Structure 1
C-alpha cells in the first residue's frame, strides 16, 4: 500500500504564479494553461502537442477527497505502516545500497534511516509507484479549485520536463497527486533537485535507485535538513510537567527539558532547540522533536505520517518499539468536526472542518484546554468537547 499521493510537498519553484482560472469548463482551462505555458517560453505547437490528449480523471478527485487514513491515531497509523517485513526490507536495502546511502549522507547530510523511511512509505521500496496518468492527474488538480496554486506550477513544470525528454504526457504514471518515482517527487522538485546518481546522463526516479535516493537527499537538504543532528527521540515525562509547554510551538534545549525531568529512553538529550511531542496526549507516547523533525513537514504535511516516518527511521537504527501508554480514546469523525466548528467559531484557524486532527486544530485545542484548566496536551477529549 502506498501513501505518496497524500504528500503535499513544499518549496515549489514555479516559473510563474497561478494564472489559469480554476473550475468551469475543463476545455477552457486547458486553453488558458496552454497560453500560460507559451508565456513561459513554450511554443504554441509544443503546447498543443503536450496538452492535446489530456483529460480530467474523476478518480483523482475521489482520491483527493478521501484521505481518511490520516484520521488514525499515531499508534494505529504507525502500526499499520511499520511491519516486520518493512523493517527487514529496510535493513536489507540499507546493506545492499550501503555505498549509495554513505554518499547521500556525505554529500547532502541526510542519514540512511530517513531516506529509507520515505522510500518504504512512499512506494514500498519502489514496488508500488502508482498507476495514475501524471499529466491527467496534475491537470485535474490544477483545474480543481481546492489547491490550484499548488498544482498549476507543477503542470507547467511537467511541460518543461517533457521538453527535456524526461516526461511523456501519454505514458508517465505515478501517484494520484502527480508525484513520480520511488520517493515520489513532483515535477518542479525533479527539475530543481533531481540528481543523476548513476551517471547515465538522465534523472530516472522510477527505475534508478541511485537517482531516487540522491534526489530525495538533495530535496531534504534544500528543505532545511541539518547535517549530523537528530530528529526524534522517545522520552519519559514527569507527571508534573507543565503540559502547556508541550507542542511544536514551544522550544527549549535538551538540557532545559532534562532539568524539568524529561528523560530519553535511549541515549542523551541533544543540546538543541527541541519540543515535546504528545501525539495522543499526556497519557500516550511521548517524544522530543528537534529541528530536523519539523523539516520533514516540507515533504509531507500530515502530522501522523511525519511522526511515523521519523520514528521508523529510529527503528531502523535499532530503537525499541515505543511505549503506547493509555491515552484517552480518539474522538469520532463527527465529534472531531463538531470540535473544529466550535473552535472556528471562537476565531481559531483549524485548517478546515475535515475531522482530521492536524497541527492547527491541535494548537487550538491546547489553547482552549489551558483556558478551561484542563491538561493542555492538544489531545481533544469528550470532556473538552462538552465544556466547549
Structure 2
C-alpha cells in the first residue's frame, strides 16, 4: 500500500463515526453544547474555553491515528477568526439564472486558458483519464470554476478557519472532522499550520478540496513525496480526478447533452428524477444537437434550466457526480456544460426563455406553494429543486406547460 492508502485506513473510521456520534475521548470538551440538531444528527462538542476545546480536538485526532506531536504542532497558536464567522453568517444566496451564471462562468478567457492547460499538462491529464476514467475537460472545468486555475485560492489561515468553525456551535459536526483531517495533513508534511491558506470554510488548493478528501484521494503526481494542492499542477489534476471518480463517475459514459425540443412534449416528465431513457426522449421528438443518439439505452432526464423556451439538455447518470461536487442545480449544470465545451461541444442555444420572477414575486409564489402543502424549504426567493418540483405539479394541475419555470402567468393563476 502507498502512504495515502495507509492513512485512509485509520481516518476512515473517524470520518464515519464523526457523522454518527461524537468521536472518542471528548470528555474535556464542554458538554453543554453537545446533543442533536433539528435533523436528529449528532452535534459535535463545541464552544466554551478555546484551550479546553482544542484539548478535545487533540484527543480526537490521536484516536483517529495522529500522533500527539503533530496535533500539538497543528493546533499551536490557533485562534478564533471573526472574519470567518462573519463570512459564515453572511453567505449570499444564489439568485442568478442559468444563462446569467453560465455565461459569466464559461467565458472565452477561461476556455482559452483551459485549452492551454490541456496541452501543457497533456501527459498528466492522460494519466488521470487512464487511472480514474475522468476526462481532462471535467478536471479543467473545476480548476477554472473554483480558483481560475489557482489564481484565487483564498487568504484565510486554514487552521484558524477550521478551528473557528468547529468551535462555533452552528455546524460543528460538519467542520470538526475537517479539522481532524487538517491535523493529519500536518503530520504527513502536506500542510504548514502557520502558513497554509485557503477559503474561509477550509477548502484548500486549486480545486478547493477539504482536508478529508485530500487525505483520502490525494495523489503525489510530481513525485516529491507530498500532496500539494496549492502549487503542484500534477497533484491537482490527479487528485481531482481520483476524487471525482469517487463521486460515482463512470468511465466512458456521457454526462450532459444539449438537445432541441418540440413544442408538444409532455413537459411534466421533464426534470431530474425521471424514469425515461434517452431513446424514449428521442421518440418524443427530442433531438441531440450533436446528432449522437448512441446513448439511447441510458437513463436520461430532460432538464430545462429556464423553461421550455430556454436551453435544454439531457442529463445522464454521470451528471450525478457533478451534483455530488456541488448540489446547486445552476452551478452543477453550468459545470457539466463547461466540461462539454472542453470536449468539443458548441455554445448552447440560448433560446428565448420567458421572463422569470423577481425576488419579491418569487417569495410570493413560494408562500402560495407552501400554503398548498408543498415543501419548498425556506421562503428565500430562490428557484431551488423543491420549488421547481412544486411549480411543475401546479403547472400540470392548472393545465399550463409543466416545465418547472417560475413565471408571472403561474403566479397570477395561483
Residue 343 (structure 1) aligned to one of 346, 352, 369: 369
User: Residue 17 of structure 2: SS of its match in structure 1?
Assistant: coil
Residue 179 of structure 1 corresponds to 203
TM-score normalised according to structure 2 size: 0.84
CA distance 1:232–1:15, change in 2 (3 Å) = closer
Residue 101 of structure 2 corresponds to 77
Residue 317 (structure 1) aligned to one of 321, 329, 343: 343
How many angstroms does 1:15 deviate by? 5.1
User: Residue 321 of structure 1: SS of its match in structure 2?
Assistant: coil
Residue 389 of structure 2 corresponds to 363
Q: For structure 1, which segment, 133-142 or 109-118, has the greater mean C-alpha deviation from structure 2 after superposition?
A: 133-142
1:377 aligns with 2:403: yes
Q: For structure 1, which segment, 29-38 or 166-175, has the greater mean C-alpha deviation from structure 2 after superposition?
A: 29-38
How many angstroms does 1:381 deviate by? 1.9
Residue 157 (structure 1) aligned to one of 181, 197, 208: 181
Any residues of structure 2 matched to 1:165-204 within 5 Å, and which?
Answer: 165-204=189-228
After superposition, give the CA deviation of every residue in 1:270-319 in whole Å (9 maximum; x if it has no partner). 12111001001112111111111111111111111111111111222222
User: Residue 314 of structure 2: SS of its match in structure 1?
Assistant: strand
5+ residue gaps, structure 1, are 1-10
Distance in 2, matches of 1:350 and 1:170, equals: 43
1:294 aligns with 2:295: no
Distance in 1, matches of 2:197 and 2:324, equals: 23
5+ residue gaps, structure 2, are 1-11, 23-28, 34-44
1:237 aligns with 2:238: no
1:207 aligns with 2:222: no
Distance in 2, matches of 1:303 and 1:65, equals: 22
CA distance 1:221–1:319, change in 2 (3 Å) = same
Residue 125 of structure 2 corresponds to 101
Residue 166 of structure 2 corresponds to 142
Residue 14 of structure 1 corresponds to 15
Distance in 2, matches of 1:45 and 1:205, equals: 24
User: Residue 70 of structure 1: SS of its match in structure 2?
Assistant: coil
After superposition, give the CA deviation of every residue in 1:27-68 in whole Å (9 maximum; x if it has no partner). 264454344334435566654443342222233333334444
Distance in 1, matches of 2:339 and 2:14, equals: 28
User: Does the CA-based 8 Å contact 2:67-2:187 persist in structure 1?
Assistant: no
Distance in 2, matches of 1:262 and 1:74, equals: 21
User: Residue 397 of structure 2: SS of its match in structure 1?
Assistant: helix
Any residues of structure 2 matched to 1:11-160 within 5 Å, and which?
Answer: 14=15, 16-17=17-18, 19=22, 21=33, 24-25=47-48, 27=50, 29-42=53-66, 46-68=70-92, 70-160=94-184
Distance in 1, matches of 2:59 and 2:374, equals: 39
Q: For structure 1, which segment, 268-277 or 211-220, has the greater mean C-alpha deviation from structure 2 after superposition?
A: 268-277
Task: Work out which structure has the larger RCO, using CA pairs closer than 8 Å and 6 or more positions apart in sequence.
Answer: 1
How many angstroms does 1:127 deviate by? 1.7
Number of residue pairs matched by the alignment? 378
User: Residue 223 of structure 2: SS of its match in structure 1?
Assistant: coil
Residue 354 of structure 1 corresponds to 380
How many angstroms does 1:249 deviate by? 1.1
Aligned Cα root-mean-square deviation (Å): 2.4
User: Residue 234 of structure 1: SS of its match in structure 2?
Assistant: strand
Q: For structure 1, which segment, 342-351 or 66-75, has the greater mean C-alpha deviation from structure 2 after superposition?
A: 342-351
Residue 334 of structure 1 corresponds to 360
User: Does the CA-based 8 Å contact 1:15-1:153 persist in structure 2?
Assistant: no
Distance in 2, matches of 1:29 and 1:282, equals: 53
CA distance 1:173–1:223, change in 2 (3 Å) = same
User: Does the CA-based 8 Å contact 1:110-1:225 persist in structure 2?
Assistant: yes
Distance in 2, matches of 1:257 and 1:318, equals: 23
